[in-house]
Chains A and B, each alone.
Chain A
Amino acid sequence: MKRKPALAYAAMAVMALISIAPLAWVFISSLKSYSEINSSAFSLPARPRFDNYVSAFRHAPILRYFANSVVIVGAGIALTVTLVAMSAYAAARFRFRAKPVIIALFAVSLLLPAQSITQPLFALYTALNLFDTKAGLVLVYAAMGIPIAFFVMYGYYATLPLALEESAYIDGAGFFKTFTRIILPMAKPGLATVVILQFTDTWNEFYYALMLTSGNRARTVPIALNYYMSAFANNYSALFAAVVVTVAPTIVFFVVMQRQVIDGLTSGAVKG
C-alpha cells in the first residue's frame, strides 16, 4: 500500500485546524467571563463558567427559535430544490419561445436588494395572512434562493450528456421516469450545492425574519442572538453560549450522519 506523503497529512491537519479552530474558540469563549473575553480574545478562562449557559437560556427563547429555524430553513430548502430541480431541467434541455425572457427574468430578480422590496412584501403578507407565519418565511426564503439555485442547476444540467436520456427513451422509459431515475441521481452534486447555498443564506438571514414576524412562533436563531446585544450592555459570554447551543445540534447531526451525507453527495457523481 502506497504511503501518503507527510505533506498530505500536513495539509489535512491545516484544513482540520481551520475548520475546528473557530468552533473551539466559540466554545472556550462561552466559558469565559465578560472581562476575560474583552481582555484577551485567545486566553483560556481562569475557571470555566457554565452558568453562562443558564444566562443564555434566561435572556432569550433560543430553543424555540432554533426549532423554528430548523423547520423554516428545512422547508425552504425542500421547496427550492424541488422547484429548481425541475424548472432548471426544463429550461436547460428544451427549446421554447419564452425561454430567453424567462431566464432574463430570473437574472433580473438577482439584482433586487432585500430592502427595496420589503414594503410591498410586508403589505402582501399582511393581506394574505402570511405575516408572522413559518409558511411566510419559507416562501420568501425559497423566493430569495430560487434565482441563484436556478442558474447553478441550469449550468449543471448543461454538463450532463444528452445521450443518457436518449438511451433511456430508446429503452422505453417515459419522461418522468427518465428525469427521476436517470437525471436526478446524476444531478446530486449540483443539488447538494444548492442545498448548501440555500442553507447558509437562510440560516443566517436576519432582515426578513425581523420584518415579517412579530412573535416567537416564526422567529429564527439570528433574532435570538440579538437578545444578548445592547448598547453598553452586551453579554458576550451568554452570546457565545447561545451560539454553541444552536450550532452543536447541526454538528452532532453531521457527525452521526456523515457517511450518509457524503454518500449522498458523491454517489451521483460516479454514476455517469
Chain B
Amino acid sequence: MTRHKKAATAMAAVTLAAAMLLSLCSCASVSPSKQPATASGTKDTDGKVTLNVINYHVGVDYAADYYKYLFESFLETEAGKNVRFNFEEIPTTDAFNQKIKLLISGGTLPDIVLNGGNNITELAARAGKVRDLTPYFDADPAWRALFDDRSIEFNTVDGKIYGVPVSKEISYIYYNKELFARAGIEPPETAFESWDEFFKACETFKAAGITPVGMDTADSGWLSNLWLCGLIATQSKAGETWMNTEFPTNFNIPQVQSAVAQLQRMLSQYTTADAVGGRYDPMATHFFNGEVAMFPNGPWMIPDFRNTEKAPEGFYNKVGVMLLPGGGMSLVPTPGDMVGATDPKKIEAAVAFLKYSTTVENQLLALEMTGLQPVSPHITIPARLKNSDPLMAKVLDTAARAKVTYGQNQAYWHQNVIDAFSTFLPELAYFNITPEQFCARLTEAALKN
C-alpha cells in the first residue's frame, strides 16, 4: 500500500496543482508588462503608418457600407496614401463599448477610437487614453468652422476637445398618408399645433379602427422615450430647458410628471397590444404593414421604407414627415471619434482620417447612404439628393422649421436611468404605479451616479 500511497500523493499533487492553477489563474492580479494588440507602434518597414481601428460598423450595421467606403477611399487620398489600417471588428455597439471600456481601464486604445456613445469620451479623456485635439482645430480654422459650438462643446472635457463629431441626431414623426386619409384627418404641414390637437387626432384614429401610434418598452423603450422627450420639451419653456440639460438627477418636477401621465395614456389607449414588453422591430413592422398611423424615429429609418424585405413595395411613397406637436424635434450632437495613438506619426495620420471623415462631400455621402445628418449646420443639400430621396429632402426641410429643439434621453440621461425607464414602463402602462412614482424611481436611479 505504500507504493499506492506514493502514487496517489503524486497524482493528487500534480492534478490538484494543475487544476487549481487553471481555476485560479484568472484571479491573478498582475501589472501589464506588455501592450495589447491595440498598441501604438511606429512606422512600418515599408514606410507606411499602420493605424489600428476597432470597427463596430460591420455586419448588418446601417453604416457598414459607408464606413467601408470611408476607410478604403481615405487610402487613396494624399494624406492617406502612406497609411494602412489594421481592423478589429466588433459587431454591435454594446459589445464595442464593453471592449473599449476594458481598454480604457487597463489597456491601450486603438489609434482611431470610433465612438459608440455610452459616455466613452469623458471616460477616455479622464483616463488620459485619448489625445487633446484642440491644437489641430486651432491650426485649421476652416475645419473648425464646419462645426457648430454645441457639437464641439459636447465633445469637450475640461476645456479640451477630444472628439470629432461626424453627424447630428434628429428625430421626429413619420406618418402613413393612407391611414390619415382613411381616418379623414388632414395631416399638418409641419406639426400638430398642440398635444390636445394630437390627442384629438388619436381619438379619431381609434374611432376609425386604426392604431394611432407606435410605442415599445423593451430594450431601452426607444419609441416611448422619443414620445416622452417631446412631451416634456414642448409643453413649456421650463420643460424645454430641462430636456436640454445633460444628466438630470431630479425627475420629480411637474413638467416630467405631467408628460409621464400623457405617456401612460398613450401606452394604455393609443398603441398596439404588443407595445408593452415589445421591442423596436415588431413595432416598426406594424408601421411598415400600415397598421399604425404615426411612428417616431430618425432619418436612418428611411432606407427601410424602400427595403422590400421589410416594407411592402411602394411603401416609401405613403410615408410623410411631421415634427412633434408644438413643432418639437430632438436634436443632439453626437459623441465624436477620438485619437488613441501616442506615436506622433500615427496621431497625424489619425487626425487626417478624422478630417477626411468630416469633409462636406463625405457628410453628404453619409446622409445619402445612411441617413446620418450632416454635422455642419450650413451644408447645401444637392438637387440630385432631393430627386433621388424626396423623403430625406422633406425631412431636412421640415427639420429646419422646428420651433423647439431638445435633447434626447439616450444621449443625455445616465445609462442606469435609461434602464430604469425601460424596466418601469410596463408597470406604468398597467397602472401598477402612478406617474409620480415612476418619476421617483427614475430620480432614485439618477442619484446613484
Q: Which residues of A contact B (CB under 8 A)?
A: 33-35, 38-39, 59-60, 79, 83-84, 86-87, 89-91, 93-94, 96, 102, 105-106, 109, 112, 117-124, 126-127, 131-132, 139-140, 142-144, 146-147, 150, 169, 174-176, 179, 206-207, 210-211, 214-215, 223, 226-238
Q: B22 contacts the other chain (Cβ, under 8 Å)?
A: yes
Neighbouring A residues of B95 by C-beta, 8 Å: 206, 210, 223, 226
Q: Tell me if A93 and B59 are in contact (CB < 8 A).
A: no
Q: Tell me if A35 and B37 are in contact (CB < 8 A).
A: no
Neighbouring A residues of B236 by C-beta, 8 Å: none
Q: Tell me if B91 and A174 are in contact (CB < 8 A).
A: no
Q: Tell me if B62 and A230 are in contact (CB < 8 A).
A: yes
Q: Tell me if A39 and B285 are in contact (CB < 8 A).
A: yes
**B347 nearest CB across to chain A (Å):** 22
Known pairs A83-B18, A127-B33 / 14 extra A-B pairs, C-beta < 8 Å: A35-B289, A59-B59, A90-B12, A96-B12, A120-B30, A123-B32, A131-B37, A132-B37, A140-B26, A214-B37, A229-B59, A229-B60, A230-B59, A233-B62
Q: Tell me if A211 and B91 are in contact (CB < 8 A).
A: no
A87, A124, A144: the one contacting B30 at CB < 8 Å is: A124
- A62 CA / B32 CA spacing, docked (Å): 32
Q: Tell me if A112 and B26 are in contact (CB < 8 A).
A: yes
22 of the cross-chain contacts (CB-CB < 8 Å) are A35-B310, A39-B289, A86-B11, A96-B9, A106-B23, A109-B24, A109-B27, A120-B29, A122-B36, A127-B33, A132-B37, A140-B26, A146-B23, A175-B3, A210-B90, A210-B95, A210-B98, A214-B38, A228-B60, A230-B62, A232-B284, A232-B300
Q: B253 contacts the other chain (Cβ, under 8 Å)?
A: no
- A232 CA / B285 CA spacing, docked (Å): 11
**A33 nearest CB across to chain B (Å):** 6
Q: Which of B99-107, B129-137, B237-245 contacts A (4 or more CB under 8 A)?
A: B99-107
Neighbouring A residues of B196 by C-beta, 8 Å: none
Neighbouring B residues of A112 by C-beta, 8 Å: 26-27
Q: Which positions 1-56 of chain B face chain A at CB distance < 8 Å?
A: 1, 3-5, 7-9, 11-12, 14-16, 18-20, 22-38
- A119 CA / B127 CA spacing, docked (Å): 15
Q: B301 contacts the other chain (Cβ, under 8 Å)?
A: yes
Q: B61 contacts the other chain (Cβ, under 8 Å)?
A: yes
Residue of B27, B29, B107 ringed by the most chain A CB atoms within 10 A = B27
Neighbouring B residues of A226 by C-beta, 8 Å: 59, 91-92, 95
Q: Tell me if B26 and A90 are in contact (CB < 8 A).
A: no
Q: Tell me if B4 and A175 are in contact (CB < 8 A).
A: yes
- A112 CA / B24 CA spacing, docked (Å): 10
Neighbouring A residues of B7 by C-beta, 8 Å: 174-176
Q: Tell me if B37 and A123 are in contact (CB < 8 A).
A: no
**A77 nearest CB across to chain B (Å):** 13
Q: Tell me if A146 and B22 are in contact (CB < 8 A).
A: yes
**3 closest A-B pairs (Cβ-Cβ)?**
A227-B59, A90-B12, A38-B285
Q: A34-B310, A126-B35 are in contact. Are A106 and B20 (CB under 8 A)?
A: yes
- A94 CA / B8 CA spacing, docked (Å): 8
**B369 nearest CB across to chain A (Å):** 13
**B41 nearest CB across to chain A (Å):** 15
**Chain B interfacial residues counted at CB < 8 A:** 63
- A230 CA / B288 CA spacing, docked (Å): 19
A35, A102, A175: the one contacting B309 at CB < 8 Å is: A35
- A117 CA / B28 CA spacing, docked (Å): 8
Q: Tell me if B88 and A237 are in contact (CB < 8 A).
A: no
**B2 nearest CB across to chain A (Å):** 11
Residue of B15, B30, B102, B282 ringed by the most chain A CB atoms within 10 A = B15
Q: Tell me if B25 and A124 are in contact (CB < 8 A).
A: yes
B11, B16, B26, B300: the one contacting A143 at CB < 8 Å is: B26
Neighbouring A residues of B30 by C-beta, 8 Å: 120, 123-124, 127
Q: Tell me if B27 and A91 are in contact (CB < 8 A).
A: no
Q: Tell me if A83 and B22 are in contact (CB < 8 A).
A: yes
Neighbouring B residues of A223 by C-beta, 8 Å: 91, 95
**A198 nearest CB across to chain B (Å):** 13
Q: Tell me if B99 and A211 are in contact (CB < 8 A).
A: yes
Residue of B9, B60, B280 ringed by the most chain A CB atoms within 10 A = B60
Q: A34-B310, A106-B23 are in contact. Are A235 and B60 (CB under 8 A)?
A: yes
Q: Tell me if A117 and B281 are in contact (CB < 8 A).
A: no
- A78 CA / B319 CA spacing, docked (Å): 58
Q: B258 contacts the other chain (Cβ, under 8 Å)?
A: no
A122, A127, A227: the one contacting B58 at CB < 8 Å is: A227
Neighbouring A residues of B300 by C-beta, 8 Å: 232
Q: Tell me if A122 and B102 are in contact (CB < 8 A).
A: yes
Q: Tell me if A35 and B23 are in contact (CB < 8 A).
A: no
- A56 CA / B323 CA spacing, docked (Å): 37
Q: Which positions 105-119 of chain B face chain A at CB distance < 8 Å?
A: 105-107
Q: Which single residue of chain A is at the shortest CB-CB distance from B300? A: A232
Residue of A84, A124, A228 ringed by the most chain B CB atoms within 10 A = A124
**A85 nearest CB across to chain B (Å):** 8
**B63 nearest CB across to chain A (Å):** 9
Q: A227-B60, A232-B62, A235-B60 are in contact. Are A35 and B15 (CB under 8 A)?
A: no
Neighbouring B residues of A93 by C-beta, 8 Å: 8
Q: Which single residue of chain A is at the shortest CB-CB distance from B307? A: A34
Neighbouring A residues of B32 by C-beta, 8 Å: 123, 126-127
Q: Which positions 282-340 of chain B face chain A at CB distance < 8 Å?
A: 282, 284-285, 288-289, 297, 300-301, 304, 309-311
B9, B35, B90, B93: the one contacting A231 at CB < 8 Å is: B93
Q: Tell me if B91 and A227 are in contact (CB < 8 A).
A: yes
Q: Tell me if B9 and A118 are in contact (CB < 8 A).
A: no
